[in-house]
Amino acid sequence: MYLGFSLTPFGHHPAAWREAAAPQHLGFDALQSQVAKAEEAGFDFVLLSDRLGARPLDDLAPIAAPFEPTTLVAALATKARRIGFLAAAATSQYEPYNLARRFASLDQISGGRTGWVALPASGEFERDQEYLGLVNALWDSWEDDAFIYDKAEGRFFEPDKMHVLNHRGEHFTVRGPLNVNRSPQGKPVIAQLLSGESKALAARHAEIVLLQDPTPESANETAADFVRGLEAAGRRRQDVRILANVVPIVAETSEAAQAASNALRFGEADRASQPLSAARLVGTPAEIARSLQQWLGLGQIDGFTILPPTIAIGHLFFTQVVPELRRLGLIKAAAGVTLRDRLGLVRPVHPAAPLERAS
């Protein structure tokens, strides 16, 4: 089972700041403390969704991270040495070259532990298809062994192993190459939040898919439908990890958990302000763990992204639900050092690599 943790200053409930309304919760140290707990608990990545690319108009939402996501990842990655990071960025906010450079830089800083949550522009499939293809191609600007640092011959890199894009498309013109060498994990991982508009794009490009369905049943139906689209696009199911977003409501007794859930119900205005949607699971630590186990048993889901409604419930998940998941054998030590290693994703071979090396 793969696990992600969605990072916010106070929790995903819009009123959570009232429970922990100390200014230090907005600071870097408090956020880094949450990441350290997720890393210690064996989570595979931290999700920084922020506002999913939407600009604040009339409010400063307490569920949004107080720092720009990729800047925050750059700092957190120097503190947390094992866990991965997924940061959201919209295709409408950056030129393809700038975004590719940003995430290539993050992957160098983190040692290959980052991914891009690609937020497509509404109703612009062809533009976004070109955009994601460009970013992927720019990440292949250099072959793995392009930089040779040959002092005797005065050669910094092998010119034949630098690839200039010279792209002229309907929406973008990009020469390249990227001025960042190839990622330790080949390329940063591409993730997408699955929605009606993004399904076709995700089927072609996403390596992590985050489901936002309100129930396990609908999430499994969505996952099955996505797999059909994935295969129609000529891709393999084993090359994608499908994770469901989950809001856990944890307490010592079932009754206390239900009472907490009732107190944390979302109103219509609350739902409108939420950048993420999720299924809600309510119960004791053992009940939550068994629910996740049963969900996995349905066969379509590879893991979960945990959206704690409050910091306190997030702490309960780390300290009480995670031991139950370990007892059930659902959390195991991750092998390797990159995000792809943790998720069991194949490192992409450079398109120019010799066939014997690629095989």
Q: What CATH number has the domain bearing residue 34?
A: 3.20.20.30
Q: Which pLDDT value is given to residue 359? A: 38
Look at strands 303-306 and 2-6 and give their pairing: parallel
In a domain, 148, yes or no: no
Is residue 162 in a domain?
A: no
Select from 7, 14, 68, 75 the least CA-distant residue to 43. 7
Domain-located, residue 151:
no
Gap between the Cα atoms of 226 and 199, Å rounded: 7
- Residue 287's CB is within 10 A of a number of other CB atoms, namely 18
Instruction: Give the single-character DSSP code of 173.
Output: E
Q: What is the pLDDT of residue 20?
A: 67
* Residue 154 covered by a domain: no
Residue-wise DSSP of 2-62: EEEEE--SS-SSTTGGGTS--GGGGSHHHHHHHHHHHHHTT-SEEEE-TTTTPPPSS---T
Which of these ranges, 31-45, 158-172, 281-295, has the smallest mean pLDDT? 158-172
| pLDDT at residue 272, rounded to an integer | 62
* Per-residue pLDDT at 358: 42
Asked if residue 155 belongs to a domain, the reply is: no
- Cβ contact 124:205 at 8 Å: no
Average pLDDT over residues 184-191: 97
> Which of the 8 DSSP states describes residue 72?
H
Contact 219, 301 (CB under 8 A): yes
Higher pLDDT, 311 or 151: 311
Tokens of 250: 């944890």
Ramachandran sector of residue 329 (left: φ over 0; alpha: ψ -120 to 50; beta: rest)? left
- The SS3 assignment for 138 reads helix
pTM of the model: 0.93
Residue 271 reports pLDDT greater than 70: no
152: pLDDT confidence band, cut at 50, 70 and 90? confident
Please, what is the Cα angle at 112 between 29 and 349, to 5 degrees?
165
Enumerate residues 6+ apart whose C-beta is below 8 A from 62.
8, 9, 10, 14, 16, 17
Range with lowest mean pLDDT among 61-75, 160-174, 252-266: 61-75
Read off the pLDDT band of 356 (50, 70, 90): very low
Q: Which residues of 22-58 are buried (b: 16+ CB within 10 A; e: fewer)?
A: eeebeeeebbbebbebbbebbbbbbbbbbbebeeeee
Please report whether residue 167 resides in a domain: no
At 213, the pLDDT band (50, 70, 90 cuts) reads very high
Task: Look at the chain and report how many structural domains it folds into.
Answer: 1
Residues 15-36: tens digit of each pLDDT: 887 776 667 777 899 999 999 9
What is the model's pLDDT at position 292? 97
Question: Residue 83 is encoded by which pair of tokens?
Answer: 């866990």
Judged against a pLDDT cut of 90, whether residue 64 lies above it is answered with no
Q: What is the mean pLDDT of the chain?
A: 90
Burial (CB count within 10 angstroms: exposed 0-12, middle 13-18, buried 19+), residue 257: buried
57 — phi, psi (to 5°)? Answer: -110, -60
* 159 located within any domain: no
CA–CA separation, 274 and 134 (whole Å): 30
For residue 150, is it within any domain?
no
Query: Domain limits at 250?
Result: 2-141+172-358
